[in-house]
């Protein structure tokens, strides 16, 4: 699919979503998504560039349907350099060296899995196994990290997390950094069943090298997620990435 505008990408996403999937969330049905897409398109019409490309904005929700989601990894917003982001949190498809945070993530994964450090940063294989790689803002302006953090995408994040927390199937929430950890209370409040938590929340500092606590490395979130999924009778995630 090629979309020149976010409005066109939104129309294609909602059209192709099966009943009961992400497009049934109130965010998409009550006009908020359409209004947000129109706002971003006005910026594009005024000469701004956004990342990722419009046709990739909803990739996280497209590649990981609601019913197939087993793990959630929250990011902040897309890489601001055009061509680097493709709609999945932390995933990188650019031509330069891996971003620093992603390099830390993949080093921890490799240690957990006993495999070689990947040389590429495309995390699509995770998404296709049920790992929802969701940014709290699905877009940003090219060259400006955080430009779209306050324009309304956070309402979608709240609804996605709420929908997953309320369902019976257990889900792993991997929350890295203060912004992501702030969502833990929502998971706990909406995911309790008879006083017992249905889900696993794994929280630690952000994988950024600027994290002074440096508590991401050694957290073993990838191994702990798989051990919990296995105990729940769910298939583990193959975190290894193809070369």
Give me the active site residues, please: 77
CA neighbours within 13 Å on the CB side: how many for 72? Answer: 30
Helix (H) or strand (E) holding 45: helix 32-45
User: Tokens for 214?
Assistant: 């440096």
Strand-pair category, 200-204 with 192-193 = unpaired
Kindly tell me the burial class for residue 35, based on how many C-beta atoms sit within 10 Å of its own C-beta (0-12, 13-18, 19 or more): exposed
Dihedrals phi, psi of 110, to nearest 5 degrees: -60, -40
Q: How far is CA 65 from CA 29, 109, 210, 223, 241, in A?
A: 17, 24, 33, 23, 21
Using an 8 Å Cβ cutoff, are 58 and 10 in contact? yes
Dihedrals phi, psi of 172, to nearest 5 degrees: -95, 125
């Amino acid at each position: 699919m090629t979309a020149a505008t976010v409005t066109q990408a939104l129309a294609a996403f909602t059209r192709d979503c099966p009943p009961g999937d992400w497009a049934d969330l109130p965010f998409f049905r009550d006009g908020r998504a359409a209004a947000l897409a129109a706002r971003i398109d006005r910026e594009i019409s005024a000469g701004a560039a956004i990342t990722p490309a419009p046709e990739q904005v909803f990739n996280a929700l497209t590649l990981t349907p609601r019913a197939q989601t087993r793990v959630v990894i929250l990011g902040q917003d897309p890489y601001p350099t055009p061509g680097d982001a493709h709609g999945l949190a932390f995933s990188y498809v650019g031509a330069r060296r891996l971003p620093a945070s992603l390099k830390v993530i993949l080093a921890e994964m490799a240690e957990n899995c006993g495999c070689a450090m990947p040389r590429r940063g495309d995390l699509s294989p995770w998404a296709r196994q049920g790992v929802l790689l969701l940014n709290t803002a699905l877009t940003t302006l090219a060259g400006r990290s955080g430009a779209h953090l306050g324009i309304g995408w956070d309402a979608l994040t709240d609804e996605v997390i709420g929908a997953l927390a309320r369902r019976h199937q257990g889900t792993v929430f991997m929350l890295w950094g203060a912004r992501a950890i702030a969502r833990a209370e929502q998971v706990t409040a909406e995911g309790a069943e008879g006083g017992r938590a249905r889900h696993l929340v794994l929280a630690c500092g952000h994988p950024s090298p600027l994290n002074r606590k440096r508590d991401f490395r050694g957290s073993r979130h990838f191994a702990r997620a798989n051990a919990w999924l296995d105990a729940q009778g769910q298939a583990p995630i193959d975190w290894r990435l193809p070369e």
